[in-house]
Amino acid sequence: MNNLVDFYEFAKDFAERHMMINEFFVLGNEDELQGLDFTYRAFVLIPLASNISREGNRPVYTVEFLILVGDKADENDALQLLSSTEENIFVIGQFQDYLQQQMKDAEFGDIEIVNQLRDDYNITSAYTRFTMTFERKSYKRPINLT
C-alpha cells in the first residue's frame, strides 16, 4: 500500500467486511459530519494533514487521518449507552490491529468519546487521529516539468 487510493481500498474493505459496521464514509473535512444521515454503526475516515520527509534517506509522506465510529443507543438505557461506546472503541482497536497485521505503518493517538442526545436516542461516537506513512519514489526519478 503505497498511496491514498490503496489505503482507501484497504479501509473500505475493512469496513465492508466487519460485522459491526453498517456503512463507510470518506469525508473531506470534519464539517461534513454535520447533517450527514448515518445508518448506524458508521465508520468515517477524514484526511486532515500531510507531511513529506527524506529523513534517514527514506523518502516517505505521512497523512494524518481522523477516524470516527458512530452508533445509536436508546436514550433511557445507560447499559446500552456504555455498551455502544465500548463497541465503538473496540472497532477502532480492531482497525489498528488489522493495520498492524498487514504490516502497515500507522501511529494512533488517544481515543475521544462524544455522546449526543437526539430526539429519542443518543449518538455514541469514538474518534481518534492516526498517522499513516507511505513510501515515496526515489528523488532520482525524472521531475514532471514542462
pLDDT tens digits, one per residue of 65-124: 999 999 988 888 889 889 999 999 999 999 999 999 987 778 889 999 998 887 778 889
Whole-angstrom distance, CA of residue 91 vs CA of residue 108: 13
Q: What is the pTM of this model?
A: 0.85
Q: Which residues contact 130 (CB under 8 A, 6 or more apart)?
A: 64, 65, 67, 96, 106, 107, 108, 109
- Could you tell me which CATH class the domain 4-135 is placed in? alpha beta
> Where is average pLDDT lowest: 3-17, 79-93, 94-108, 132-146?
132-146
